[in-house]
Structure 1
């Protein structure tokens, strides 16, 4: 997913070519992540939403291993969120 897939002002996100509305929780989480991302890697040119220390200096997305580690031991796992949607 790329940064241009997110329309914060219109509270929409495009996933797989489908435009979806952002609920309040997701909107707030995106705002928080984007603030962290901007602070942590202010000069990155990476266009992807999720980046890591490694990919912040590249143009590719964070890999599956990074996303798995980042969400390990969380109550709300990515799989549980996907199934819930």
Structure 2
């Protein structure tokens, strides 16, 4: 029996680029920043290419932006 592993060339899970990985790899990720829009609708995911959701559904966005808060007029943090 041969110990050779065949390469699988396909798009990474984030859709950034085509990569070559061993055929037994189930989730193909690259080293690019994810870039998907977060649930807040104003920021992009800063994690490296990944499978699944960018944040937990209960997690609030913590990225700084220029949006003013409705209740006090200060910038969000």
Scaled by the length of structure 2, what TM-score is found? Answer: 0.23
Give 1 or 2 for the bigger CA radius of gyration. Answer: 2
Q: Which has the higher helix share?
A: 1
